[in-house]
Amino acid sequence: MTNTFGIIYSNPSNILIAVGIFFLLLIPLITISEFLFFEPFVVFSLYPETTLSFSLIVVLSFLSSLAVSMNIYRVKLIKETRKISSSIIGTIIGASAGACSCGPIAFSIITTFGTAGSIASSFLTIYEIPIRLTSIIILGIVIFVTTKSLSYECKMSQ
C-alpha cells in the first residue's frame, strides 16, 4: 500500500492535483460552515462545540483529495473510470452535509422550494455528522479498493 502511494505521489503533478482538490473543497466548506469569514476582514473562528464538525471537514477534504487524485492517476493508467465516480459521489455526500444551516445556501433553498426546501435543509443540518461520517467511510473504501487495484494493475503492467 505504501509502495502504491509512493509510486503515485512521486510525480509532483499528482501531489499538485491532490493539494488543489484539498483546498478547493476545504475553503468553501469551512466558509459555508462559518469557520472562516471574509467580511469585514479575514477571520478564522473555532469553538469547542464545532471542533468535531471542523475536523470532519478537514478529514473529508483530505480523503477526497487522495481518492480523486489516485483515481485520476488510475484513469490515466488504464482508462477505467468506475472508482472515480464513487469518490466523487462520496465527496458530494460529504460536502452537502451541514452546508445548509442558517447560511445563504439554506436561504436560497428555502425561499425557492418552500417547505420541502426547509425540510431538506433541516435534514442536512441535523444529520451533518452522520452524513459526513458516511461520506468518509465511502471515501475510505474507495481509497482502499483503488490502492489494492492499483498495486495489482501496476504488477501486471510491469
Partner 1 sequence: MANTKTIAVCVVAVILVAAVTISFSSYLSEFDTARTLPAEHKFETIALGSETATVTIVEVGDYQCEMCKLWFEKTRPLIIENYVETGKANLIFIDMPFLGNDSQHAAAATYCADDQDKYWDYHVKLYQLQQHVDDGWANADRLSAIAFSLDLNMDIFDECMESKEHYSRVDFHKQKAKNDFGANSTPTFVIVNTSGDSKRIVGAHPYSTFEEIINSML
Binding site for partner 1 (CB under 8 A): 24-25, 27-28, 31-32, 34, 37-41, 43, 45, 47, 49-50, 75, 79-82, 84-85, 88-89, 91-92, 95, 99, 101-108, 110-111, 115, 118, 121-122, 125-126
Nearest approach, Cβ of residue 2 and partner 1 (Å): 28
65 or 121: whose CB is closer to partner 1?
A: 121
Give which of 100, 77, 95 is closest to 135, Cα–Cα: 95
Q: What are phi and psi of 39, to 5 degrees?
A: -120, 130
Cα distance between residue 157 and residue 151, in whole Å: 10
Smallest distance, partner 1 to C-beta of residue 75, A: 8
Provide, rounded to whole angstroms, the least separation between the CB of residue 133 and partner 1. 18
Whole-angstrom distance, CA of residue 74 vs CA of residue 80: 7
- Closest CB to partner 1 among 12 and 104? 104
Residue closer to partner 1 (CB basis): 36 or 150 = 36
User: Peptide bond before 40: cis, by omega within 30 degrees of 0?
Assistant: yes
Q: Three cell numbers at 90?
A: 462520496
**Which C-beta is closer to partner 1: that of 56 or that of 95?**
95
> Minimum distance from CB of 144 to partner 1 (Å)?
20
Alpha helix positions (H), the chain: 2-9, 12-32, 51-78, 82-96, 104-126, 128-157
User: For residues 10 and 24, which CB has a smaller minimum distance to partner 1 in the complex?
Assistant: 24
Count of alpha carbons within 13 Å of 135, Cβ hemisphere only? 27
**At closest approach, how far in Å is the CB of 91 from partner 1?**
7
